[in-house]
Amino acid sequence: MTPERKFQVKYLIMVLLVVLFTTIVIGGGMYYSIVSEMVYRLPDVSESSLTKSVVFSEVNSTLLMLIPVLFIAVAAVSLLLFGRIAAPLAKLKKEIEAIKRGDFTLETDEKSAQELTDLVISLHEAKKSVAAIVFEQRREANKLLEVANQLLKECADYKHEKKLTIDLINKLKTTIDSLQISLSKFRINK
């Protein structure tokens, strides 16, 4: 079974358990109210004591007590599920938006549902890989800039003879400067 399918089955089972709990509470409450009314009235066997209206009113009063309890229980389970899924997803979304802005320093904690933990770990590995590439590109751009500056210094004495070379070196320097500007938009921990 694929991890996606396991994730779906896991949360489907949770929802089915909530529905089962709801059914048991409502059905059990109705059964309890009917049986308790009959047991309460058992010594008095007259038909008027076991009329439908008496049993119906007892069932209604029991259900009116059970519905708020059931509502609170379902709300608690829903909040639990919401907390397990939505909160880590919101943190993950914030991290992805930071990456979109070029910030590789923000990290989401890995304490969430297993499926989200795997996703966060994969995202962190991808960020580290991209950050390493950006760091390497910055280093190479700095090396190129040093070479271009050194060439400009050496060609300064021969301006008349090396005009084309100086122009090419200046273009190289401009390109390296723009590369450094674009790389400076990335924030990494190195």
User: pLDDT of 156-181, one tens digit each?
Assistant: 766 666 677 777 777 888 888 888 78
Tally of domains within the chain: 2
Rounded average pLDDT over 95-116: 74
Q: What is the pLDDT of residue 104?
A: 76
- Between 30 and 121, the more confident residue is 121
The CA distances from residue 20 to 5, 12, 62, 66, in Å, are: 22, 12, 19, 15
85 and 107 share a domain?
Answer: no
Does the pLDDT value for residue 189 go beyond 60?
yes
Sort 83 into a burial class: Cβ within 10 Å, 0-12 / 13-18 / 19+: exposed
| pLDDT, mean of residues 55-80 | 74
36-52 average pLDDT score: 63
pLDDT of residue 20: 81
Same domain as 29, residue 116: no
* Sign of the CA dihedral running 172, 175, 179, 184: positive
Answer yes or no: do 57 and 130 share one domain: no
Mean pLDDT of 10-34: 77
Cβ neighbours, 10 Å, residue 110: 13
Percent of the chain with pLDDT over 90: 0
Q: Which residues span the domain enclosing 1? A: 1-100
Q: What is the pTM of this model?
A: 0.47
Structure tokens at 118: 């795997």
Count Cβ atoms below 10 Å from residue 116 Cβ, excluding itself. 20
Check whether residue 118 and residue 27 sit in a common domain: no
DSSP 45: -
| Confidence at residue 114, expressed as pLDDT on a 0 to 100 scale | 67
pLDDT at 45 over 60: no
- In which band, very low, low, confident or very high, does the pLDDT at 118 lie, cut at 50, 70 and 90? confident
Residue at which a domain ends, from 79, 100, 121: 100
- Give, in order, the Cα–Cα distances in Å from 47 to each of 35, 52, 56, 174: 16, 10, 15, 102
Same domain for 112 and 81, yes or no, is no
Mean local confidence (pLDDT), 87-114: 75
Q: Are residues 1 and 95 in the same domain?
A: yes
pLDDT score of 176: 81
